[in-house]
């Protein structure tokens, strides 16, 4: 899966980034390398949703894309 992010230089130094495809998903880092590490964690956290087993005959599947 590929996701576009917008990287900004922070006024106080370092960087911050937002993920337009995932509303509310943003992170920051003091260095570009730290920002990238934090972006992976932020996207994973924003996409992780706990889903209860359905009460009907449906089932929950987890797929990798």
pLDDT digits (tens, 9 = 90+) for 11-43: 999 999 999 999 999 999 999 999 999 999 999
Q: 1-65 has which fold?
A: Double Stranded RNA Binding Domain (3.30.160)
Residue 58 contacts by C-beta under 8 Å, 6 or more apart in sequence? none
Report d(CA 17, CA 8) in Å as an integer: 6
Delimit the domains of the chain by residue range.
1-65
Reading the block at residue 14, the tokens are 């370092």
pLDDT greater than 60 at residue 51: no
């Amino acid at each position: 899966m590929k996701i576009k992010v917008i990287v900004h230089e922070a006024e106080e130094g370092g960087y911050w980034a937002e993920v337009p495809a995932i509303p509310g998903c943003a992170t920051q880092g003091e260095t570009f390398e730290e920002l990238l590490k934090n972006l992976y964690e932020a996207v994973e956290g924003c996409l992780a949703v706990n889903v209860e087993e359905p009460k009907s005959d449906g089932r929950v599947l987890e797929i990798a894309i």
